[in-house]
């Protein structure tokens, strides 16, 4: 392997996503033939002691407590935003203005309006940009995309996708603050619509093309929760569950559902697509399997196949262990940064770009709007 060029990374945020991204920067150049080696220059978060501990644990060379200082540093090429949703736009826009590459956790903006300002900033500055919709990089999902691109399915009739969790059912769970900001609408923007459904939507737009119109419903099952920052019981303004019907530009009809109230389900992300000649189904709990039905198979043996996507000719798998051995959740982030580094070397951009992230925000905004108006809502093109 040739000598790699340094790519100096400054990350904002040391939570769950700060860890997944940091791990990806370290592992990608070890497992993939990429021209760049991410150098962990600085980690940034408000709590000085904790950010220092995080930096030491992951091998960041320094720690900052003000993201503005991080963005101003001349020794940093790329700003990675792994902090809560209310910080995304301000940091991304400042980083783009400073000429940095910008990677951002999902959802891109709390609203499409915020996301649009972020797209304008990175496109004006012409800086590489990407949103961490990591599930696009599951090998079985990438294989499904390849099969669709090869037109093995024919006309697509249906798409359906769910993301089911159960961790907010207790009424005693507070809202707000570290770990629970996803329940605070001021920080998160929305509830499951922006947090979970956004994953389903990003993947669907990639696999099945644009969504044109939507009819949605949302519900907030627990109406009040203690707020961790004020100590007061306050109204809950996020959506706890969100579901919608829609039409895709290719004429297919779809059903989507996300909830944190599906008792027994921890992160059940599913999808199924039905075409004229074939169907496929995938779920995150069995992420290595792609279930595939080919109507072209010989009649007496026609049926659903469960293909174990771990062979050397499956997407990404030749870079890991030996055929049959599995990889997991953290590898989706490693694949994403590896793809980013390959694209960077070729002066290309890896998807999903900020503009792709905006397309998802347009859909989630339309979901929230339709749930309020109780009408079908059109989805603007990004
Ligand atoms: C919420 O529980 C969450 O952590 C999301 O924020 C992530 O995006 C999803 O991948 C897993 O669930």
- Over residues 182-194, the mean pLDDT reads 98
Ligand 1 proximity of 202 Cβ (cutoff 6 Å): no
SS3 185: helix
CA distance linking residue 293 with residue 280, whole number of Å: 6
Please tell me the distance between residue 278's alpha carbon and the centre of ligand 1 in angstroms.
30
Span from the CA of 297 to the centroid of ligand 1 (angstroms): 38
CA of 302 to the centre of ligand 1 (A): 37
Q: What are the sequence ranges of the domains in the chain?
A: 5-133, 135-378
Mean pLDDT of 246-254: 98
For residue range 193-221, list pLDDT tens digits in order: 999 999 999 999 999 999 999 999 999 99
Q: Is the CB of 195 under 6 A from ligand 1?
A: yes
Ligand 1 centroid to Cα of residue 315, in Å, is: 24
What would the pLDDT profile of 297-345 be if each residue is shown by its tens digit? Answer: 999 999 999 999 999 999 999 999 999 999 999 999 999 999 999 999 9
Residue 1 pLDDT greater than 60, yes or no: no
pLDDT digits (tens, 9 = 90+) for 343-362: 999 999 999 999 999 999 99
Q: Where residue 2 falls among pLDDT bands split at 50, 70, 90?
A: low
Cα(78)–Cα(93) distance, integer angstroms: 13
**Tokens of residue 130, six digits:** 């990407």
- Index of the ligand 1 atom closest to the CA of residue 199: 8
Please report how the helices 112-125 and 354-373 are oriented relative to each other, as an axis angle in degrees rounded to 10.
Answer: 160
Q: Is 126 exposed, middle or buried (0-12, 13-18, 19+ CB in 10 A)?
A: exposed
Q: Is 229 in the pocket of ligand 1 (CB under 6 A)?
A: no
SS3 assignment, position 130: strand
pLDDT of res. 183 = 98
In the chain, % of residues over pLDDT 90: 99
Ligand 1 centroid distance, CA of 349 (Å):
25
pLDDT of residue 67: 98
Average pLDDT on 38-59 reads 98
Tell me the H-state helices in 98-136: 112-125
Cis peptide before 335 (omega within 30 of 0): no
Q: Is 3 exposed, middle or buried (0-12, 13-18, 19+ CB in 10 A)?
A: exposed
> 267 in ligand 1 pocket by Cβ < 6 Å?
yes
Spatial CA neighbour of 161 closest among 247, 89, 256: 256
CATH of domain 5-133: 3.40.50.720
Same CATH fold assignment for domains 5-133 and 135-378: no
Question: Which protein residue has the closest C-alpha to ligand 1 atom 1?
Answer: 195
- Does ligand 1 come within 6 angstroms of the Cβ of 105? no
Closest CA to 350 of 215, 206, 167, 174: 206
CATH T-level fold of 135-378: Dihydrodipicolinate Reductase; domain 2 (3.30.360)
- Reported as a single tens digit per residue, the pLDDT across 154-174 is 999 999 999 999 999 999 999
Which protein residue's CA is at the shortest distance from atom 9 of ligand 1?
Answer: 196
Q: Find out whether the beta carbon of 268 lies less than 6 Å from any atom of ligand 1.
A: no
Residue nearest ligand 1's atom 5 by CA? 195
Mutate to test the pocket of ligand 1, among 134, 184, 189, 195 (most ligand atoms within 8 A of CB): 195
Judged against a pLDDT cut of 70, whether residue 139 lies above it is answered with yes
Distance 267 CA to ligand 1 centre (A): 8
C-alpha of residue 125 to centroid of ligand 1, in Å: 30
Residue 223 has pLDDT above 90, yes or no: yes
Instruction: Give the global pTM.
Output: 0.98
pLDDT at 175: 98
């Amino acid at each position: 392997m040739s000598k790699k060029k340094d790519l100096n990374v400054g990350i904002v945020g040391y939570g769950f996503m700060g860890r997944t991204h940091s791990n990806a920067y370290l592992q990608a150049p070890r497992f993939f033939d990429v021209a760049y080696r991410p150098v962990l220059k600085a980690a940034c978060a408000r709590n000085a002691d904790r950010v220092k501990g995080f930096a030491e644990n992951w091998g960041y060379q320094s720690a900052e407590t003000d993201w503005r200082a991080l963005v101003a540093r001349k020794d940093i090429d790329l700003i990675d935003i792994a902090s809560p949703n209310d910080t995304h736009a301000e940091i991304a826009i400042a980083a783009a203005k400073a000429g940095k590459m910008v990677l951002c956790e999902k959802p891109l903006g709390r609203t499409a309006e915020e996301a649009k300002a972020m797209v304008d900033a990175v496109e004006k500055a012409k800086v590489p940009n990407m949103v961490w919709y990591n599930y696009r990089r599951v090998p079985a999902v990438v294989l499904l995309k390849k099969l669709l691109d090869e037109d093995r399915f024919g006309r697509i009739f249906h798409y359906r996708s769910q993301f089911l969790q159960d961790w907010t059912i207790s009424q005693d769970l507070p809202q707000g603050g570290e770990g629970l900001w996803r329940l605070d609408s001021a920080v998160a923007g929305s509830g499951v619509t922006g947090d979970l459904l956004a994953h389903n939507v990003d993947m669907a737009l990639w696999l099945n093309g644009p969504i044109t119109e939507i009819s949605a419903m949302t519900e907030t099952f627990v109406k009040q929760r203690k707020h961790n920052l004020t100590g007061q019981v306050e109204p809950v303004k996020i959506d706890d569950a969100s579901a919608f019907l829609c039409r895709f530009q290719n004429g297919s009809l779809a059903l989507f559902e996300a909830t944190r109230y599906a008792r027994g389900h921890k992160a059940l992300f599913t999808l199924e697509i039905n075409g004229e000649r074939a169907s496929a189904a995938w779920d995150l709990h069995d992420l290595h399997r792609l279930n595939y039905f080919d109507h072209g198979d010989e009649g007496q043996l026609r049926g659903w196949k469960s293909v174990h996507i771990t062979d050397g000719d499956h997407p990404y798998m030749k870079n890991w262990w030996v055929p049959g051995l599995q990889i997991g959740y953290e590898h989706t982030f490693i694949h994403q940064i590896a793809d980013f580094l390959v694209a960077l070397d070729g002066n290309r951009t890896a998807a999903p770009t900020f503009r792709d992230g905006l397309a998802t925000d347009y859909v989630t905004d339309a979901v929230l709007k339709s749930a309020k108006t109780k009408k079908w809502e059109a989805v603007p093109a990004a």
